[in-house]
Structure 1
Amino acid sequence: MALEFSLDPPVGPVLRDGILGLWTDVSNADGAVGFVPPVSREDVRPELVRHLVAMAEGRARLLVGRDADGEVAAAAFLTYNAHRLMRHWIWLYTVMVHPRHQGRGYGRQLLAAAADAARGMGGVDAIRLTCRSGAGLERFYASCGYKEVGRVPDAIRVSDGDYRDDITMLLPLV
């Protein structure tokens, strides 16, 4: 079953709460989306607000995947570069598929929808993202066409004594 994706859907309380719940659930399932479990919705809310402000200011766009029940099942943020020499590529941030939907190909669908969205943005030649080592994410992204282009060893401290690499990956669109 495929998710139904929408780019830049109107953000009201229902969508906002759906993304907040998604982000919290992904984080608590040990998803590498900026937090270490356990987290509450209130822990995640300020980061979501920062993303929503970036959207309101035209610096970011939201891609949402809904399941057959219309619930938010996946999401990602596409962020423009402010630097005039780097406007030909975008960042893909906070790539999330709800834990109850993982293993169904929804992550691949989300990345394909993000690539389609980026191609439609005009002048975008590539997508960059970063991921945390230790969970096999770099292998997943590579299987979706992304190439590892950089790695900073031990850049992310998950907890005392648990350091992970920060991996930069690139998907050429042309």
Structure 2
Amino acid sequence: MTPDSLVFQQLTSPGDASPELRRALAECWVEVTNAGGAAGFPFPPVDAATVTPTLDRIVDQLAPDTNRILTATVNGELAGWLNVRRDRFELIAHWGTLHHVQTRTALRGLGIGRALMEEVRRVARDEMGLEQLHLAARGGVGLEDFYGQLGWKEIGRWPAALRLSAGDDRDEILMLLAPL
């Protein structure tokens, strides 16, 4: 069940991300990563100094047609966020890729991740004009099951592509959502 107070916001230009929102995005990313989440930093622990430069690069490249951040807030507090990007190259401009999908650990199980994924599907289709979405997920943590319940299909794997530590190699799972 998604909280009634769930609100989505899109960031489509660098000016959309206030310093307070940037701090909240970075705090979420640190929390998710340090809890073992597969959101872009594979080697916890991380801190704001580690995460902020990468977040700043994402924010600095925001543009309505090619790169957006979608946030979900509950009672005015950031609950989760993701980044959706598309390449303008005409051969592949009909699809986009999701990056850094994450929800605050204390709010898991409330349907926020599901709602965020449903909203990005709508945004990608209705606002960005995309026909399909791609993502790569870390194997071994059940992400393919979560995304599968939302209509995503596994389209391939790179076996043992991700080395988290000696003896802990994970598959990278390639997933597709089409049509939107």
SS at match of 1:49: helix
Stretch of structure 1 that moved more, 43-52 or 146-155: 43-52
Write the distance in 1 (CA, Å) between the matches of 2:159 and 2:35: 24
Write the distance in 2 (CA, Å) between the matches of 1:161 and 1:56: 40
Give the gaps of 5 or more residues in structure 2.
none
**Contact 2:140-2:170 at 8 Å conserved across structures:** yes
What is the match of residue 7 of structure 1? 10
What is the match of residue 46 of structure 1? 53
What is the match of residue 104 of structure 1? 110
Instruction: Report the CA distance between 1:57 and its aligned residue.
Output: 9.2
Q: TM-score, normalised by structure 2?
A: 0.91
**Contact 2:31-2:105 at 8 Å conserved across structures:** yes
Write the distance in 1 (CA, Å) between the matches of 2:156 and 2:169: 17
AA at the equivalent of 1:55: L
- Of 121, 137, 144, the match for 1:138: 144
Deviations along 1:102-145, one digit per CA (max 9) or x if unpaired, are: 01111100100110110123431011111000100001000011
SS at match of 1:26: helix
Q: Runs ≥4 in structure 1, deviation > 2 angstroms?
A: 56-59
Deviations along 1:23-54, one digit per CA (max 9) or x if unpaired, are: 00000110001222111111111211221122
What is the match of residue 62 of structure 2? 55
Deviations along 1:49-78, one digit per CA (max 9) or x if unpaired, are: 22112215964101000011x111110001
| Structural RMSD (CA) | 1.6
Write the distance in 1 (CA, Å) between the matches of 2:9 and 2:150: 20
The answer to whether structure 1 residue 16 and structure 2 residue 22 are counterparts is: yes
Write the distance in 1 (CA, Å) between the matches of 2:144 and 2:53: 27
Give the gaps of 5 or more residues in structure 1.
none
**Contact 2:11-2:70 at 8 Å conserved across structures:** yes
Stretch of structure 1 that moved more, 129-138 or 43-52: 43-52
AA at the equivalent of 2:58: H
Stretch of structure 1 that moved more, 57-66 or 110-119: 57-66
> How high is the sequence identity, in percent, across the aligned residues?
37
**Contact 2:157-2:173 at 8 Å conserved across structures:** yes
What is the match of residue 66 of structure 1? 73
Aligned residue pair count: 173
Distance 1:148 1:62, change over 3 A: same
**Contact 2:153-2:176 at 8 Å conserved across structures:** yes
